Structure 1
Amino acid sequence: MTAAAKLSVRNLWKIYGPNPEKLVSRDFPAMCHQERLAHIRENHHFVAAADVSFDISEGEIFVIMGLSGSGKSTVLRAISRLIEPTYGQVFLDGNDLLKAGAREMIEIRRHKMGMVFQNFGLLPHLDVVQNVAFPLKAQRRPRAERRAHARKMIELVGLKGKEQSYPHELSGGQQQRVGIARSLAVEPEIWFLDEPFSALDPLIRAQMQDEFLRLQTQLRKTIVFVTHDFLEALKLADNICIMKDGEIVQIGSPSEIVMRPVNDYVKDFIGDVPLAKVIHAKDVMGAAYADGKTHPTVAHNSILDEALKLFDENTETVDVIGDDGRVLGSLHPLEVIRSLYHDDVTTAQT
């Protein structure tokens, strides 16, 4: 666990079968990874999450992604203890959640965790205010206080004027906004979202992604976001965790994943990615080019698409500048062109 981490997951396993707890009670801690997998299979058990470890900083959007059956949703539910992990540790602010008793865990969920799932889970007989205020009732907050706070959350997600509407009177996107407002009503320290936009049509989904990013700029929540959509992960994530068969394949920033995929499984995700909208200028810049001329400049954390607009028949060099305005390096057409081809990028970085 790193000192700066808000949430740390260490060696997390979720095993299904007749008696998974017995499998991890004796020699399991001393085994290597492959020995553990063989031990589990020999005893006719199934691994849903295998030796999962990662750290999430405060205010970070950490996206867990993979194909169906990869274990991504299992990990989210295990770290929030909606399902019980078989083995491992989950630290929230340095406290191991797996050591918390049932009553303590209920209070942690009520006060520190917000959750949004693919099915909106709204109560059909309650209006929008009542749905959003519902978790505050579990906290035993006074009726007037919880309704006033619910109205603030409703305005925050852009549903002002819909307070008295019922779920069946709302569109799918509006229903999901109610679900988001309800999860934010408890002012959670950590926010879990499991495929929250996958049931929406593409246009509404894109709008909800933009809305999600807008909310994050205001709230700066620590977020664990599960998706099977790589383009969604690239758009939202500070860091991406790619899973396969219950195991982590690669963790990195969107540009790191795109530029340095660790294997063919990750490369398959990258196939249709618009690289110019993912790679940053700092990722492909070369040494600063000192020719005595003044060059156009681009910020080091700008996406390559923005830098491309600066090249024309009179511009062969674009300088990349840091936050303090100093030149960190330069972009040249050849490096930019190479960066847009996966094989060239991967080869250059190895």
Structure 2
Amino acid sequence: MDAIAIKNLDVVFGDNVQPALDLLDKGLTRSEIIDQTGQVVGVDNVSLNVKEGEICVLMGLSGSGKSSLLRAVNGLNPISRGSLEVRDGDQMVDMASVDAQTLRHLRTNRASMVFQKFALMPWLTVVDNVAFGLEMKGISKKERRKQALEKLEMVGLADWAYQYPHELSGGMQQRVGLARAFAMDSDILLMDEPFSALDPLIRAQLQDELLELQKKLNKTILFVSHDLDEALKIGNNIAIMESGQLIQHGKPEDIVLRPETDYVRDFVAHTNPLNVLKGRSMMKDIDTMPHVENRWKVCDQRDIWVTVEPQGALSAMAGTQHLRVAEWKKDMADLSQVSSDTIVMASPDIEMRDAIEIRYHTNKPVLLVENGKLVGTLSDHDFYHALLGKYQQSCDSQAA
């Protein structure tokens, strides 16, 4: 189900928005509208759905409208036109027409905000900062302290519960902000560039921690970022904005493989492809390989043939040498223990970084198997294409 449903949303800042909306309908640009009316278009005709349990990353350069859209979700920015619905139990509440009491309920119980600036109260201890929203809910001091300490334990700050914010590093303060949001037990988390002010190492660590916490808590997260590598790492879907408009929305791999505009193409041109590409995008299809009956030649240089047995099992030969076929799993033991007489099979959804490591240890292509069927391979040629950014060409050729 949708947790957030946005349709034809406009957000205009100013005291007389209708002339700006009229000019938007005539196709005028943001800069033309501000010149003629003095009104600022923050969001221009955006439609976007975010599913329950999804991490959707809003991306774009400064001034693209991503934060303006995020803040409309909890009523911090006014909605000029269109609808923005937020799930509240079995019903959807339209933020465009919500009354003050319902808005207060949504902010207290349904949607929590994590700011770029940590927004901690310096006169309160860490645990009381985390418990502050619970106090606003009217929860007793004993119970809110208990819940706050549980969330601090979750983010690894239990030992700092009775310190003050100025005694914590920037990364630790950001963890307190996360704990405070999680303490509210809201279904929706709105995160406005929460890690952008942090050092790269701390930032990467908090990204990992957020993903681990998401596995346990399964929140709906709308996350603003201007860093594509961050978006590719944490997002189930990415929505790229420019000049207040949503110009492309899709899965990270689709954004990289199939940019729809030059703006998006420029974004993905500088990203690390190994952060998003999967084996399915780069593999050589089994139907394109030489085969005799149920035997396929998967490597010319090493004369490797793979046989699909009647029950679907695979066997492999390199010349006259029998190869052991091992199945790769994400939690596989140290790959350095994989011997040179082994060829590894994996899911087509294997990350290219993992596939390259397998190739490094086995010196052989990776077999891709789906639903018990050999569907393709990854060889050196495919790895070089991924590293050199030739994935668009590869994707297009496969589609053809």
> TM-score if structure 2 supplies the norm length?
0.78
Larger displacement relative to structure 2 (222-231 or 304-313): 304-313
Structure 1 residues 213, 33: closer, same or farther in 2, change over 3 A? farther
1:254-299 deviation per Cα after TM superposition (whole angstroms, max 9, x unaligned): 1111111122212222233221232001122232255151352122
1:217-266 Cα distance to aligned partner (Å, 9 max, x none): 11111100001111111111111111111111211211111111122212
Q: Partner letter of residue 14 of structure 2?
A: G
The 3 A distance-change label for structure 1 pair 260 and 155 is same
Partner of 2:350: 302
Once residues 205 and 313 of structure 1 are traced to their aligned partners in structure 2, the CA distance between those partners, rounded to angstroms, is: 30
Pick one of 172, 192, 198 that aligns with 2:190.
192
CA-CA distance at 1:317 after TM superposition:
4.0
Q: 2:116 aligns with which of 115, 118, 121?
A: 118
Residues 193-208 of structure 1 aligned to structure 2 (within 5 Å): 193-208=191-206
**Alignment match, 1:101:** 99
Unaligned runs of 5+ in 2: 290-294, 297-304, 307-315, 317-342
Between 1:325-334 and 1:169-178, the stretch displaced more is 325-334
Residue 251 (1) aligns with residue 249 (2): yes
Query: What's the CA shift for 1:56?
Result: 1.1
Aligned with residue 27 of structure 2, among 34, 39, 60 = 34
Cα separation, 2, equivalents of 1:317 and 1:263: 34
After TM superposition, the structure 1 stretch with the greater mean CA deviation from structure 2, 39-48 or 183-192, is: 39-48
Residue of structure 2 in register with 1:223 after alignment: 221
Query: Measured at CA, do residues 11 and 309 of structure 1 come closer, stay the same or move farther in structure 2, by a change above 3 Å?
Result: same
Distance in 1, matches of 2:284 and 2:26, equals 40
AA of the residue aligned to 2:70: L
Name the counterpart of 1:90: 84
2:5 to 1, 8, 11: 8
Structure number with bigger Rg: 2
Q: CA offset at residue 176 of structure 1?
A: 0.9
SS in 2 for 1:121: coil
Question: Structure 1: how far apart are the matches of 2:133 and 2:14?
Answer: 34
Pairing 1:51-62 to 2, within 5 Å after superposition: 51-62=45-56
Q: Do the aligned residues in 2 keep the contact of 1:260 with 1:346 (CA within 8 Å)? A: no
Deviation at 1:192, TM superposition (A): 0.4
- Report the 3-state secondary structure (helix = DSSP H, G, I; strand = E; otherwise coil) of the residue aligned with 2:284: coil
CA 1:166 to 1:321, structure 2 compared with 1: closer, same or farther past 3 Å?
Answer: same
2:66–2:244 CA contact under 8 A, matched in 1 = yes
Quote the Cα distance in structure 2 between the aligned partners of 1:310 and 1:62: 31
**How has the CA–CA distance of structure 1 residues 346 and 265 changed in structure 2, closer, same or farther, with 3 Å as cutoff?**
farther
Indicate the SS of the match to 1:199.
coil
Q: Deviations over 1:99-143 (max 9, x none)?
A: 220111011110111110011111111111111111011111111
Distance 1:332 1:114 in 2: 46
Cα offset for 1:149? 0.8
Percent identity, please. Answer: 37
| Cα distance, 1:327 vs structure 2 | 3.0
Letter in 2 for 1:304: M
User: In the alignment, is the contact (CA less than 8 A) between 1:48 and 1:246 conserved in 2?
Assistant: yes
Cα distance change, pair 99–71 in 1 and its aligned pair in 2 (3 A): same
User: Which residue does the alignment assign to 2:327?
Assistant: none
* Structure 1 unmatched ranges of 5 or more: none
- Is the CA contact (8 Å cut-off) linking 1:76 and 1:194 kept in structure 2? yes
Moved more, 187-196 or 10-19: 10-19
CA contact under 8 A between 2:30 and 2:40: conserved in structure 1? no
Query: Is the contact made by 1:89 and 1:97 (CA closer than 8 Å) also made in structure 2?
Result: yes
Does the CA contact (< 8 Å) of 1:281 and 1:298 recur in 2?
no
In 1: Cα distance, 2:153 partner to 2:362 partner: 49
Deviations 1:285-337 (A, max 9, x none): 23225515135212222211211233369866422223x44434333433443
When residues 48 and 178 of structure 1 are mapped into structure 2, their CA distance, relative to the original with a 3 A threshold, is same
Aligned with 1:131 (options 129, 138, 141) = 129
Q: How many Å apart are 1:22 and its aligned residue?
A: 6.1
Is the contact made by 1:64 and 1:227 (CA closer than 8 Å) also made in structure 2?
yes
Count of residue pairs the alignment pairs up: 342
Is the contact made by 2:257 and 2:395 (CA closer than 8 Å) also made in structure 1? Answer: no
Whole-Å Cα distance in 2 between the matches of residues 249 and 313 of structure 1?
Answer: 41
Task: Between the two structures, name the one with larger relative contact order (CA 8 Å, sep ≥ 6).
Answer: 1
Quote the RMSD (CA, aligned, Å).
Answer: 2.5
Which residue of 392, 395, 399 maps to 1:345?
Answer: 392
Q: Report the TM-score when normalising by structure 1.
A: 0.89
The alignment status of 1:45 with 2:45, answered yes or no, reads no
Flag the 1:69–1:36 CA change in 2: closer, same or farther, 3 A: closer
- Taking the TM superposition and a 5 Å limit, the aligned residue runs for 1:18-29 are 18-21=15-18, 24=21
Distance 2:194 2:211 in 1: 14
| C-alpha distance in 2 between matches for 1:65 and 1:82 | 19
Q: Pick the structure with more strand per residue.
A: 2
- 100 and 287 in structure 1: CA distance in 2 versus 1, 3 angstrom threshold: same
**Alignment partner of 1:66 is 2:60:** yes
Are the aligned partners of 1:338 and 1:345 in contact in 2 as well (CA < 8 Å)?
no
